[in-house]
Amino acid sequence: MIAAMKPVFALSLAGIMLLGPMITDAEAQDPERGFGHTMRPVIRGTRYAVSSRKPLATQVAEQVLRAGGNAFDAAVAAQAVLGQLDAAMNGLGSDACILIYDARSKQVISINAEGTAPKLATIDWYKKNAGGKIPANDTLLSASLPGIVDAWYLLLERWGTISLAQALEPAIDIAESGFPISEGLASTINASRKLRKYPTSMKLYYPEGRAPKPGEIFRNPDLGRTLKKLVEAERNAAGQGRSAALKAARDRFYKGDIARAIGRFMEENGGLYRYEDFAAYTAKVETPVSVNYRGYDVYKNPSATQGPAELIALNLLEGYDLKAMGLNSADYVHTGVEAIKLAYADREKYLGDMDFIRIPFAGLLSKEYARERRALIDPRKASYELRPGVAEKYEPGFPPVNRVLKPNLAGAADHEGDTSYLCIVDKDRNVVSFTPSLHSAFGSGVVIGDLGFILNCRGDYYELDPNHANALMPGKRPRSTLTPTLVMKDGKPFMAVGSPGGDDQPMRILQTFLNVVDFGMNIQAAIEAPRWSTTSFPASDFPHTMYPGRMAVEERIPQAVVAELEKRGHKVRVAGPWSMNATSAIRIDPLTGVLSAGADPRGDNYALAW
C-alpha cells in the first residue's frame, strides 16, 4: 500500500526535469529517420512514463507512481481526474476498452468495459416508438450503460495495490475544490446545443446562466458526493479485506442506491434502462487478438470493438515496401486508404459482441487471407465499393457467414467521435493502454439527476438490421470504436498507443505505429507527422452513412500528392495542418529499456517520465 497521496496541483521535480528543451539543430535531421524539429520534445525516463489527454491527469498518474503505486493504480486515479478535465469526452458515465500487460504473468490482457443494451431495447421497440431511428449523440435513448466503475474495480482488485479511496482522492478534491477550466472545455460547453436542452445539464454546466470562461474555476460537487459514496462503501466493508471492500464500492454503483437513482431517473425521463440492467452488468476480462507485423506483435481488444480492423489493415500493408514508397507519398497514402476500406468492410461483416456472434479470427487475421484480399487493391484507382471478404474459408470448420451488407449513402452520420486516452508504463514494466469515452461530446447530453455525470451515448452505434453483426439486442454490447493498442517485441512490451477519433482511431494509431516501425521515427515525430484518413465505409454512428471515395489529408501533405490522389479517383478534402490527430504513446526501447513518451500538440495531451 502507498500512503495517502499528496496534492496533485504542484508539478513534480520529475516533470520539471523532463519537460526539457526542444530538439537541437544538431538533431534536426531527416524526419523519416526519426528526428527533425518537433512541436514538443520526446519525454524520456527509465523508471516510469505517462501520457494522457490532459496535463493534470498526467500529473496525478505520475504522483501515484512516484509514491510507490503501480501502473494499474495510476490508471484509475488518472482516469477519475481525466473524466473531469476532459468532461466532454469521458467521465463516470463512460464505457472503456483497456489493454494491459501484466509483468508478473507476462501476459497481455483485454478488459471490455462496454455497456450492455437495456432489456427493453429491441429493434421492434425503436421501429414502433422512434420511427425506426436511434437518436444520434443525444437523449437518453442513445445512452449506454457505463462500464468505467467496473473497470476501476478490475484494475485495482486484480492488479492494483492501493485502495479506491486513495485512487479517488485527487478526483474528489478536484470535484469539490474545482479546477481552472481549459479553453477547449469552455469552448465545447459554450458550443453545445444538447446540454442546454436539459435542466440538470444546465444546472451543472451553466450555473450562472452562461458557459464558464477559460481560466474560471469549474466545480462539480454532485460528482464529488457520488464518488464519496463509493469510498464510503469501501470503508464500511474494510473489515472484510481489501478485495471485499473494493467489491462493495463497485456494487454500490451497480447494485446499490446509485443504480436505483439512475434507473428511476431513466424511467421518469423516457430512457429504457432500469435498475435490473445495472444489477446484471459486469465488465469482462478477455484474451486479446493479435497479428505479427514485421516482427512486432500488435494486440487489440477482441469483442464489441472495431479494434481488429487495424490488425486486418496491418496484414494487408505488410505485403508492401512502405518505406520505399516514401512517407505520405501518393502511393503510400493511396495504398493505406485502400487497405483501410477493405479492413472496414470486414469490420462491418464480422465484428461485434462475441457473446452474441462468432468471429472467425483465425481466418480473418491469417496471412493467407490478407494475401487474397491484397489483390483487390488497384494501385491506380480508388475503390468506391464496400467489399467484405469470406474470411471463414481460411478457418476450417467455421460455418459460412451469410450477411449481405447494404451501405447507407443517405443521412449525415459522423465518422469522428469524442473520446479520451491515457497510457502508463511503471518501473516493473506493467503497461496500461486505456481508452475511456462518452462517445460524442457530452454523451447523451443529460446529467443524471443530482449524481453529477452524463451517460455515454454508445447506444446509437447499434444497427436496426437483425442480420447485421452489430444488430441491437437486449444485453448486447455495441461494436465500439474504442481501440487502444499494445505492441510487444520479442515477448517484451514495446509500445502503448491510442487516440480519440471515432472511426478514425485505427487510422491514427496505425499511422503512428508505421511511422515508428517502417520509417524509424522517434515517438514524438511519429505522432506529429502529417496524417490522412477516409470515410469511404459505413459510419459507426446511426444512420451509418458511407461516403464513397471520400478521404482527407492534413494540408502539410504536399499539393502534388493531393493532385495525384484525385487523379486516382479519391475525393480529397484538405484539412488544417494540425487538425487530424490527438494521440498519446509510450515506446520502450528493447535494448536499453528507456521509456520515450509522446503527446500530440494537436490537443492538450501531456507526457511525463522519470
Q: Does some domain include residue 397?
A: yes
Q: Rounded distance, CA 171 to CA 85, Å?
A: 10
Count of helix runs (H) and strand runs (E) in the chain: 20, 20
Is residue 381 very low, low, confident or very high in pLDDT (cuts 50, 70, 90)?
A: very high
- Residue 164 within any structural domain of the chain: no
Mean pLDDT of the chain: 93
Residue 419 lies in a domain: yes
d(CA 158, CA 140): 33
- Of 38, 335, 419, 481, which one is the catalytic site residue? 419
Alpha helices (H) along 384-518: 505-517
Q: Is residue 368 part of a domain?
A: yes
507, 552, 558 from 561: Cα distances, Å: 19, 12, 5
Residue at 356 is within a domain: yes
Question: 608 and 62 in contact (C-beta within 8 Å)?
Answer: yes
Average pLDDT over residues 279-287: 98
Mean of the pLDDT values across residues 107-111? 98
Per the structure, the count of domains in the chain is 1
403 within a domain of the structure (yes/no): yes
Q: What are phi and psi of 560, to 5 degrees?
A: -65, -35
The pLDDT tens digits for 423-478 are 999 999 999 999 999 999 999 999 999 999 999 999 999 999 999 999 999 999 99
pLDDT tens by residue, 163-209: 999 999 999 999 999 999 999 999 999 999 999 999 999 999 999 99
- Which residues, at least 6 apart from 297, have a Cβ–Cβ distance to it below 8 Å? 290, 291, 487, 488, 489
Classify residue 206: in a domain, yes or no: no
- CA nearest 394: which of 312, 325, 465, 299? 312
pLDDT at site 44: 98
* Band of pLDDT at residue 13, cut at 50, 70 and 90: very low
Residue 305 annotated to the active site: no
Domain containing residue 563: 27-58+95-134+285-447+458-610
What is the sign of the dihedral through the CA atoms of 136, 137, 139 and 141?
Answer: positive
CA distance linking residue 18 with residue 58, whole number of Å: 13
pLDDT tens-place string over residues 466-523: 999 999 999 999 999 999 999 999 999 999 999 999 999 999 999 999 999 999 999 9
Say how far apart CA 593 and CA 344 lie, in whole Å: 35
**For residue 1, is pLDDT > 50?**
no
pLDDT for res 37: 83
Cell of 280: 446484471
Helix axes 367-374, 308-317, angle to 10 degrees: 70
CATH number, domain with residue 489: 3.60.20.40
* Domain assignment present for 349: yes
